[in-house]
Amino acid sequence: SENAGLVKFDFLGLKTLTVIKKTVNSLKENNININLKDLSLDDPKTFELLCSGETMGVFQLESAGMREVLKQMKPNKFEDIIALVALFRPGPMQNISKYNNCKHGIEKPDYLHPKIEHILKETYGVIIYQEQVMQIAQSLSGFSAGKADILRKAMGKKKSAEMERQKKDFIEGAVKNGITKDQAVYIFQLVEKFAQYGFNKSHAAAYALIAYQTAYLKTHYPFYFVAASMNLDLANTDKLNEFYEELKRLKINVVLPSINESFADFVVRDNKVYYALAAIKAVGYESVNQIISDRKNNGIFKSLEDFILRIDSKLINKLQMEGLIKSGAFDCLETNRKFLFDVVPEIIKISKNYKEANLLQDSLFGNDKNSKLPSLENFVNKKDFWNQNEKMKNEFESIGFFISEHPLLNYEKVLKTYNVKRFSDISDNDLNREFVLSGTLMVIQEKKTAKGQPFAIIKLSDLSRMYELFIFSEILLANRDKMVPGNSFLINIVKEKMANGTTRLTTRKLTEINSIKEAKINNAEIIINNLESINELKKILKDGGDTKVLIRMKSKDKNYAFNLKTSKLIDASIVSVLNSSGFECKIH
């Protein structure tokens, strides 16, 4: 098209722009007016958020890898965001550590030549943008803007014949400009290497601006920003789960699904986010919207009968009713979810038949002898309830994740016994140490390496937050049949430092938590503070068991470790006693 003299335009549709618009509109409805065009690009709190790496929902900056890089880079100016957007791609990614090291004074920037220092100063000597390639050619070799653009295209598309012509002109122009031939060749080779991955700065700047705007909105108006983000992913339960975990991390109160309080969308009221009914599986947006409209016009639903009287049976079907019941949306009218769930077919039938006959009256649950409606208890025994596990399972099926209670709460004794760490408590002190995490599997994404080996990226939720782990082939193949969303695990982890300065959590072992709930303890490590505490330890530990015990003690300048000759009787209750008696007991 360009060869024909036409101008080429690429138009990109971004969902994020809608998120921004919805956030701004929601703020406006609550008498908060902001103009993003006048936004300051040096807001300290926004950069504080970026440096923390807590960028869930922030455009271009929310992946696990990007969050780690943000923590390493610690951006403090808008140009850092532009650079990061351009660098975080295969190829130029290898230059991120150099950019960071030069930024923080660990390395000295290499500007190649004083004549181009002003071009590379902004990026600490790293050639990142295509525009820099063109500017270098203009400053060093006297290229015109048009000729510099031809060089950019030749380098980017690796046109060898054109490259040779451009190289000759570049070197000759540089020599005329007082630069030695050897230096000109060296600079050209470096520019050529970087240019292959060069990114258009204007494109990166546009993306960086949207990234900054979303980071600003999340920093200053988290309720509205997260609610708007969730409204654009009503059908994506994996994404909703991540946002829900983010709301928990931000200590934002979420009102659970309720037919009398929730709306079709996620809505912010009184510093609370009301869970969207339209986000419940199998419940359509239009149906819910009409239910909410009726509630708005005629008041809250006082009973299940009131709901059926007011809502047309054609509007809500069996599947939709079941989804709402399993999510807990009808708890405000009837707390026995099993009873409601089992009686749904009768509710639908009664609603349809009696509306057609115009006979609906009195209470569905009442014992009024004059009522023309049969009591629902005639069809289903109201004394039966879902147990806690059944309740959570059904809630998980309707919402896609756990919202009212967490499965790991059922394993608190196991978590304590195995000295399980919460993900939010991982610190720099855990570097190169093995520890145990717990997690309920939410999402598993299987992929293959270039050699065809399978691996997986999994998302888990513990009692503190959602987190992501990389599972290598060996562990994946050994546990694939158990790795079903909703199952809970103990995970042996080592936090390692990579060559580029970032850290990685390496999974060593994955154990389904149900399999160890009542398992015997084979090996225990007990840490004591001094020799005097041995006598207290003797009183707690009893012979006759199968647990091998290793005792550790740290003195002023030495660490001592010794194995007990005889095995001891140690179970979950003994571990609890040890930990509450001033000892530290670790299970292996």
The rounded average pLDDT for each run of 10 residues, N- to C-terminus, in the chain (588 residues) is: 77 92 95 92 97 95 92 96 93 90 94 92 93 92 91 78 87 92 90 81 94 98 97 92 91 95 95 95 92 94 85 84 95 92 83 61 47 58 82 90 87 82 84 88 89 91 88 92 91 84 85 75 84 84 85 81 86 78 78
**Residue ranges of E strands in 253-313:** 253-255, 267-269, 272-274
Q: What is the distance, to the nearest Å, from the Cα of residue 134 to the centroid of all Cα atoms in its chain?
A: 39
Q: What is the pLDDT of residue 109?
A: 94
User: Residue ranges of the alpha helices (H) in 448-521?
Assistant: 473-479, 513-516
Instruction: Check residue 519 and give its pLDDT.
Output: 58
Instruction: Report in angstroms the alpha-carbon separations of 461 from 41, 245, 388, 422, 549.
Output: 35, 8, 18, 10, 32
Secondary structure (DSSP) of 531-568: GGGHHHHHHH-EEEEEEEEEEEEE-SS-EEEEE-SS-E
Domain 408-516: CATH superfamily is Nucleic acid-binding proteins (2.40.50.140)
Give ranges for CATH 2.40.50.140 in the chain.
408-516
Q: What is the per-residue pLDDT for 356?
A: 62
Q: Beta partners for 505?
A: 495
**Residue 19 structure tokens:** 């998120």
- Helix (H) or strand (E) holding 343, with range, is none
Backbone angles phi, psi at 205, to 5 degrees: -65, -40
Which tokens belong to 407? 């499965």
CB 380 within 8 A of CB 218: no
From 442, 327, 332, select the one nearest 386 (Cα to Cα).
327
Angle of helix 44-52 relative to helix 64-73, nearest 10 degrees, comes to 120
pLDDT of residue 121: 94
pLDDT at 58: 97
Predicted local confidence at residue 164, as pLDDT: 84
Who's near 111: CB < 8 A, 6+ residues apart? 117, 120, 121, 125
Residue pair 423/465 in contact (Cβ under 8 Å)? The answer is yes
The reported pLDDT for the residue numbered 354 is 63
